[in-house]
Structure 1
Amino acid sequence: SGSLSEETYKDSVEKYLENNPQFAKEYFDKKVRCEVIAAAFAENLDIKDPASFKDVSQIQEATIIFDMIKEMHSQPIMEKAMHKVLQRICMLVNADRCSYFIYRARNGIPELATCLFDVTTTSKYEANVVNPQSEIVFPTDIGIVGQIVTSKKPANVPDVKQNPKFSDFVDKQTGYTTKNMLAAPLMNGKDPLGVVMAINKVGGNEFSKADEDLFSKYITFATVIALQHYTSYMYNVESRRSQVLLWSASKVFEELTDIERQFHKALYTVRNYLQCERYSVGLLDMTKEKEFYDEWPIKLGDVEPYKGPKTPDGREINFYKIIDYLLESKEEIKVIPTPPVDHWALVSGLPTYVAENGFICNMMNVAADDYFTFQKEAVDESGFVIKNVLSLPIVNKKEEIVGVATFFNRKDGKPFDEQDEQITEALTQFLGWSVLNCDTYDKLNRTEWRREIAAEMVIYQTKATLTEVQQILNTKEKFDMNPEDCDQKEMYKLLRTNIPEAKDVDLLLFSFSDLPVSELDLIKFGIRCFFELGVVEKFKVPAEVLTRWMYTVRKGYRDITYHNWRHGFNVGQTMFCLLQTGRLRKYYSDLEAFAMVAAAFCHDIDHRGTNNLYQTKSGSPLAKLHGSSILERHHLDYSKTLMAEESVNIFQSLQKRQFETVQHLHDVCIIATDLALYFKKRTMFQKIVDATEPMSDEKEAIAYVSNNPIRKEIIMAMMMTGCDLSAITKPWEVQSKVALMVAAEFWEQGDLERTVLDQQPIPMMDRNKADELPKMQCGFIDFVCSFVYKEFSRFHKEITPMFDGLNNNRAHWKELADIYQAKVDAIENERKRLEEEQAKKATGEDGEGGKSKTCTIF
């Protein structure tokens, strides 16, 4: 009976299942899920009624999942892999159809777009994948799909009409009626990637809880596919971004001279990483204000004022050049200066809009756009049709829009997305910032051009005129010809005749005085120095050039109290005297002697009457230009400026190596006149003197110095110091007058420090302490000058007259200082005597005798 009872039970169950097919279907969906899944994900999909599957084990489910993972990894195209998953999910939950919406952002606004639409268990991939031009796009604040991606949570909507978020926008476009849906977001951490939606439960009014669980379980595979695609895509994006920035940086810094060439090099190099069919760069006119003569017709009413669009900083929008990069087939670059308004990249008005507002504009399916007038047909004979566009402003560091870059048609047919915006924005930002390089280079160029113009003006104003040259080299009077038309030998002869002999004017004496000599005669004396050195004819210095150079050097000195042409000449004459009379020339070549005397004449050219410290305190342009030895470097620059002007370049006939030597010696000689460097070099000079003093053989001393360029330069530098201070060695009647000139110039600087800088000058520059001049002169001689001339007298006894003159002048200054000190002491003694007398009176000690000093009885 037990057996019969079991048979009866089976019959009852079978009859019940036959009479209740819906229950049977749902029951087997739950209990026989593994085989259903096996059938759903089989390679050769064979659609059967799920109720017919029986006897499936849990092991089969694991196998199925493994096969599905293999399938996902074997399919490189995300849409195809996702299509298969959607078909299986569609069957598993008995949905009429499924769709996949991709999440993205354009113009900074998130949106959802159809990627796979109306996928059924039997539909083909080609029919379901959405062409970029046919996408249905809507923002995330519309529809249930928008709610899903915003809330980032799945939803089971049994009746869409009861859901306030439901939008029938898609239904109206497709004619399909949505009743219920099951939807879930695909997430990458906290960021949405897309939404999968199952629509309309087949054989039921809504999706059940079991469907939700199943949908949630297998939506993971869709997430893996989307995430895999997203990761791969973002890797590609970052790779492109880094390449774009790397190559654009490389090319930007290759070209600093011109913004157009800079942009072109960068944009052409990165073309393969931008992944578009074309791009166009429009460069904007940066002129903010019209020339006054262009304003006249407007102000007179003859021309209408400009009423068109303007950039945010108020410039009229005028693309002065367009560069088109055509990449769709054969690469071609077109540069269009002053492009017409109907140029294919401008005619839509989009670049103008971007230039006016500074917005990034990312547009898909431009043919359907009503705001801009894009050409719907081919834009040129190549057949190129604009489908989607990304346009960005190129903004410099000053927040000025310098151009507009517009990219056309992404190569994969999809619209430009947020990542494309970021890549191109990084590129345009970099290009915009790099404009600073061109601007800086342009400013440097303009500064250099202004400097050249200023130098030309200075040379023109200071260069000796033909009339001035004729005062010395009177070829017009002698030959009735200008110097350039005369024979050089005849001019040498004439010039020698017109200038006095060195011995006749004491040029070879250390005691030479310029005071009774006119400035014009000093120019002649300077020319004579070069003839005495024998360098004029040896180095083929044209007589006219030598005369003009010497006269120009004189004009280069300002008419100030001490550091004027007379001081410049005295230093040059002393250098000449050290070489000739002091017999220091034996250590130097003719070229070196030539350069040393020329540098000595130029050593203080264009001196301003104030020292380096004042230049620094006052923040003068010279102080900003030169960090150390400020005035000395300015004098050096001035002297080299004369070398650059052929008509006054006395070294013009030298070979390149010789000319470089001359320039180096100018560096050594002129910079050496900075007394701040004197204390660094005098120990080195003393060692040379100590080494040569015991040498009895002159040839040995010459070899010791001449064979070592450093020793020669040290002696040369000390010679310049000796020349610069030589006024302190002149006869007393000369030195006393020159010292007052030096002091007067110092006092003038002290007045400036007091009035301009609001500072108290040091005693040497304080005219209120003029009476202390003798004492300060003694201190200057002892602290600075004595070493120079003492060591030179040891080095060469021929230079002893300078040391003797120094000591003689010190004796005179000491005598004056003692007289002044005696007066000061007398005044001080008298003051003390008066104070003592006053003190005695105050204490009553004025002859009244025995009163106590501490107590008085009234």
Structure 2
Amino acid sequence: MSISEDDVEKFLDDNPAFAKQYFEKKLRTESWDSNESEILFELIQDMQESINMEKVVFKTLRRIRSLIHADRCSLFMYRQRNGTPELATRLFNIQEGSTLEECLVSPDSEIVYPLDIGIVGYVAQTKKTMNIKDVTECAQFSPFVDELTDYTTKSILATPILNGKDLVAVILAINKLNGPYFTSSDETLFLKYLNFASLNLKIYHLSYLHNCETRRGQVLLWSANKVFEELTDIERQFHKAFYTVRAYLNCDRYSVGLLDMTKQKEFFDLWPVLLGEVPPYSGPRTPDGREIVFYKVIDYILHGKEDIKVIPNPTPDHWALVTGLPTYVAESGFEGPLDESGWTVKNVLSMPIVNKKEEIVGVVTFYNRKDGKPFDEQDETLMESLTQFLGWSVLNTDTYDKMNKLENRKDIAQDMVLYHVKCDKDEIQEILPTREKLGKEPSECEEEELASILKEELPGPTKFEIYEFRFSDFDCTELDLVKCGIQMYYELGVVKKFQIPQEVLVRFVYSISKGYRKITYHNWRHGFNVAQTMFTLLMTGKLKRYYTDLEALAMVTAALCHDIDHRGTNNLYQMKSQNPLAKLHGSSILERHHLEFGKFLLSEEKENNVSKDR
């Protein structure tokens, strides 16, 4: 069937709306081609004129919003913190007439999406574009932002921005204005113009990575330079390295906490806990089981006037130590200033300093990134490189050997002085009750008065048969054995001959008894039994005539001290357990330790039985 010209004219006259719609469509296509060229030119100009990523992306999204008739657009940047990926708002709610300042989100006002929440998180996970026609029918939709902003989301068009396989950001458009949802042509147009935003975001991302790697290289270079300037002291080594690289750390302040390297609690540390004098430790521990005790914190202040503060023996609740703990962040939210300067904490990055033996030697905490944003995975990588390098540098062979030697000697000295508590003023009253009998302390008494009291208090040689080879300690208390030990010195005749102060003698024998640990065999009873055997050989066995009085005194004293501070384990155990004793003595470990401990007691002025002038 053919249509004549008259029929066409008649149809157009009867349907003027059809003609109007037809010509508007033709003209709009021609106008769109012209506008598209102008828009593309303006976008390229923006990219050339501005290096500010947010400014370029803002202009791009504002134009895209008008092209696809979206109510608003937003930009979510991808990052990782503590190994957990998340998306944070950078540009939010770009609408018609919006300015960059209105849409740019400050770090303390961010809306953060974990990747397992919301359509934004799902797009980041799948790395695929999503066109949601009705959010109420989408299982991934999360309404919490709508609830925060009192807004109703109906439709969403969201796409990821990728750099290769790595996610950089997610951009989304919300609510189609001239229709119920975004069409496939809207999606095509959206993705077409996002190429400009994507290019700018990729440039920004690569520039940021380049900057981080440059800073990382400078940090390692300068820290290496300073580390090898100082090889004798870990504290000075860390201080020089951290102070030198401060310009590359991109933070307002940082602190270094140096950790006590004692691996396990010694008995002298446990004693106050067992006695109930101090509460048991209930705080966190390092992976190798050590209590977390910081002996010093060095605080580097970079905001305002640069300063360095050294905090010796900080309390466990000192802000420089607790601000890096998740519990502190959760409970306080960094509210209020932490020092007299009014400075407040906004965000922290706390990392351990681990040596090559995988032992934690310190903790460094960085505060407040200079641009106000939270620390991200690149900051973690940079700081981790620094702390790892410093941790390894601790193990310089010569330095570490010296430190170990000093640490072992210190542990053993503390072991002897603090654990083996010497006879005190109250304990001596159990043998020399001068308060009860004379109303004064032993040091205030004359030797004759002390001799009179001891004559009453000591059991004498016959009560417990100390002269007999059949002697048994089963019927004796440990205090009885102390008294018998004192009695043996009187029976040898050395107290009078060498004018040994009787108070000193009592303290000395009592201290020896306390020097033996509460173990199954090598305890005070064993030590006394050996001394009684030596005494019996000298006196009952008539061997004393072959020795001088000084030698007899020495032999009985040596017998009393021969297993003092025995650990209940043998030398092989000390070596395999890498006990500090094994590192210090090398061979005959426990024997050398008993000797050193006995010499230590004898060298004490108040315990020196034989006066220096005799």
Q: Distance in 1 between matches of 2:206 and 2:47?
A: 15
Question: Would the alpha carbon gap of residues 340 and 300 (structure 1) be closer, same or farther in structure 2, given more than 3 Å must change?
Answer: closer
Judged with a 3 Å threshold, the aligned counterparts in structure 2 of structure 1 residues 383 and 235 are, in CA distance, closer, same or farther, namely same
| Alignment correspondent of 1:267 | 242
Q: 1:337 to 1:203 in 2, by over 3 A?
A: same
Residues 295/254 of structure 1: CA separation in 2 closer, same or farther (3 Å cut): same
The structure number with the bigger radius of gyration is: 1
The residue type paired with residue 290 of structure 2 is R
Residue-by-residue CA offset, 1:596-645 (whole Å, 9 max, x unaligned): xxxxxxxxxxxxxxxxxxxxxxxxxxxxxxxxxxxxxxxxxxxxxxxxxx
The equivalent residue for 1:370 is: 330
Code of the residue aligned with 1:245 in structure 2: it is L
Amino acid at match of 2:33: C
Residue 400 (structure 1) aligned to one of 359, 373, 387: 359
Question: Which whole-Å deviations, capped at 9, do the CAs of 1:115-164 have from their partners, x for residues lacking one?
Answer: 10000121111111111101000111211111211111112111111111
Instruction: Decide which of 161, 166, 169 is 1:186's aligned counterpart.
Output: 161
Contact 2:293 2:316 in 1 (8 A): no
* AA matched with 2:134: D
What residue identity is the alignment partner of 1:443?
A: D
State the distance in 2 between where 1:327 and 1:243 align.
Answer: 18
The corresponding residue for 1:553 is none
Partner residue in 1 for 2:218: 243
CA distance in 2, matches of 1:256, 1:276: 28
Deviation at 1:346, TM superposition (A): 2.4
Offset of 1:12 from its aligned partner? 6.7
Q: Deviation digits for residues 195-218 of structure 1, max 9, x if unmatched?
A: 110110011001111111111111
Distance 1:110 1:120 in 2: 28
Contact kept, 8 Å, 1:394 with 1:428, in 2: the verdict is yes
Given residue 179 of structure 1, which amino acid in structure 2 is its aligned partner? Answer: K
Structure-to-structure mapping, 1:448-597, within 5 angstroms: none
> 1:425 is matched with which residue?
384
TM-score by length of 2: 0.62
Q: Secondary structure at the match of 2:63?
A: helix
TM-score using structure 1 length? 0.45
C-alpha spacing 1:323/1:229, structure 2 compared with 1 (3 Å):
same
Instruction: Please give the alpha-carbon distance, in whole angstroms, between the structure 1 residues aligned to 2:181 and 2:25.
Output: 13
Match of 1:435 in 2: 394
1:328 corresponds in structure 2 to 303
Structure 1 residue 307 displacement after superposition:
2.5
Distance 1:13 1:98 in 2: 40
Q: Partners of 1:25 and 1:162 in 2: how far apart?
A: 36
Partners of 2:407 and 2:95 in 1: CA distance? 75
Q: CA RMSD in A?
A: 2.8
Trace 1:691-770 onto structure 2 (pairs within 5 A).
none
- In the alignment, the residues of structure 1 paired with residue 276 and residue 167 of structure 2 have an alpha-carbon distance, to the nearest angstrom, of 60
> Hey, what's the Cα distance between the residues in 2 that align with 1:13 and 1:289?
96
The aligned residue for residue 32 of structure 2 is 33
Secondary structure in 2 matching 1:436 = coil
Aligned mate of 2:228, from 253, 264, 289: 253
Counterpart-to-counterpart distance in 1, 2:171 and 2:349: 28
Partner of 1:211: 186
Equivalent residue number for residue 287 of structure 1: 262
Task: Tell me the SS of whatever aligns to 1:414.
Answer: coil
The aligned runs of 1:92-103 (5 Å cut-off) are 92-103=67-78
Structure 1 residues 297, 234: CA separation in 2 closer, same or farther (over 3 Å shift)? closer
Displacement of 1:430: 0.8
- Counterparts of 1:291 and 1:446, CA distance in 2: 16
Structure 2 equivalent of residue 16 of structure 1: 18
Answering whether residue 139 of structure 2 is matched by residue 145 of structure 1, we say no
Q: Is the 8 A contact 2:12 2:18 kept in 1?
A: no
Residues 231 and 12 (structure 1 numbering): CA distance in 2 closer, same or farther, change over 3 Å?
farther
SS of 2:341's partner is coil
Aligned partner of residue 346 in structure 1, secondary structure: helix
Report the count of equivalent residues.
406
Q: Is the Cα–Cα contact under 8 Å of residues 394 and 400 in structure 2 kept in the other structure?
A: no
1:95-121 per-residue CA deviation (whole Å, 9 max, x = no partner) reads 000001111111111111111000012
Of structures 1 and 2, the one with the larger relative CO (CA 8 A, separation 6+) is 2
Given that 2:324 and 2:350 are in contact with CA atoms closer than 8 Å, whether structure 1 keeps it comes out as no
Partner residue of 1:135 out of 110, 115, 129: 110
* CA deviation after TM superposition for structure 1 residue 243, in Å: 0.6
| Correspondence for 1:412 among 329, 352, 371 | 371
Q: Which residue of 1 aligns with 2:91?
A: 116
CA shift, 1:242, in A, is 0.5
CA contact (8 A) 2:113 2:120 kept: no
Per mean C-alpha deviation after superposition, the further-off stretch among 441-450 and 83-92 is: 441-450
Q: What does residue 759 of structure 1 align with? A: none
The question of whether the paired residues in 2 share the 8 Å contact of 1:282 and 1:405 is answered with yes
Going from structure 1 to structure 2, the CA distance change for 1:384 and 1:449 (only over 3 Å counts) comes to closer
Distance in 2, Cα, partners of 1:261 & 1:293: 30
Counterpart of 1:400, as a letter, is E
- Is the Cα–Cα contact under 8 Å of residues 85 and 221 in structure 1 kept in the other structure? yes
Shift of 1:7: 7.2
What percent identity do the matched residue pairs reach? Answer: 55
Work out which of the residue numbers 196, 203, 221 in structure 2 matches 1:221: 196
Match of 1:164 in 2: 139
Q: Is the 8 A contact 2:337 2:343 kept in 1?
A: yes
Q: Which amino acid aligns with 1:426?
A: S
Where structure 2 has 5 or more consecutive residues not aligned to the other structure, the ranges are 409-614
Shift of 1:296: 2.9
Distance 2:62 2:81 in 1: 30
In the TM superposition, residue 9 of structure 1 has moved relative to its aligned partner by: 7.3
**CA shift digits 1:355-391 (9 cap, x unpaired):** xxxxxxxxxxx8xx424x4541112232211111111
Q: Secondary structure at the match of 2:319?
A: coil
Distance 2:350 2:84 in 1: 16
Provide the rounded CA distance (Å) in 1 between the counterparts of 2:42 and 2:133: 33
Question: Mind listing any 5+ residue stretches in structure 1 that lack a counterpart?
Answer: 38-60, 354-365, 451-858
Deviation readout 1:47-81 (Å, 9 max, x if unpaired)? xxxxxxxxxxxxxx2x5423321211211211111
- Look up the match of 2:101: 126
Please give the residue correspondences for 1:305-320 in structure 2 after superposition, counting only pairs within 5 Å. 305-320=280-295
| Aligned equivalents of 2:190, 2:166: Cα separation in 1 | 20
Deviation at 1:314, TM superposition (A): 1.5
Contact 1:348–1:374 (CA<8 Å) still a contact in 2? no
